[in-house]
Structure 1
């Protein structure tokens, strides 16, 4: 119960993003599970794996919040995410597309 109250009392950049993605992703997965035919289950699998990775980030984030101030951690996380997205953008022909 303490970790759930920490999400409210000590939010960080990653924890907010993880919660938003879970709120969007879980209903999407349930919807796709019941509407997409069996041949389209690869998308559901990818989404579940992505959500599991995000849960892993959330666990690491909660561990770091215990050791680092949440405001400093939020700044560090935002800089790392922004830096990664900038790097990805400039190394992939100035595009965020995968294909």
Structure 2
């Protein structure tokens, strides 16, 4: 029996994301975000087919996002706390009130 050495499939860093339901966004936040183009969003990221992919800056860098809704800022903090670089809001994901608050839609 030989000791096999694990070799990763890719040789570059992979980044994790916190997968959240859009139910973790207030209805008024969703309405507002839906009116904006990618370059107008109050965060770094963009629209996906089912929601938004958002870069989660380190807490010290959150000052750069003064117009970002509070629930998104809290999700960014939670993502970093869990070791993720991004937040993915997906309208097909299951909401989890144990991770972040869930809002009625």
TM-score normalised according to structure 2 size: 0.26
TM-score normalised according to structure 1 size: 0.27
Q: When you count strand as a share of all residues, which structure comes out higher? A: 2
Q: When you count helix as a share of all residues, which structure comes out higher? A: 1
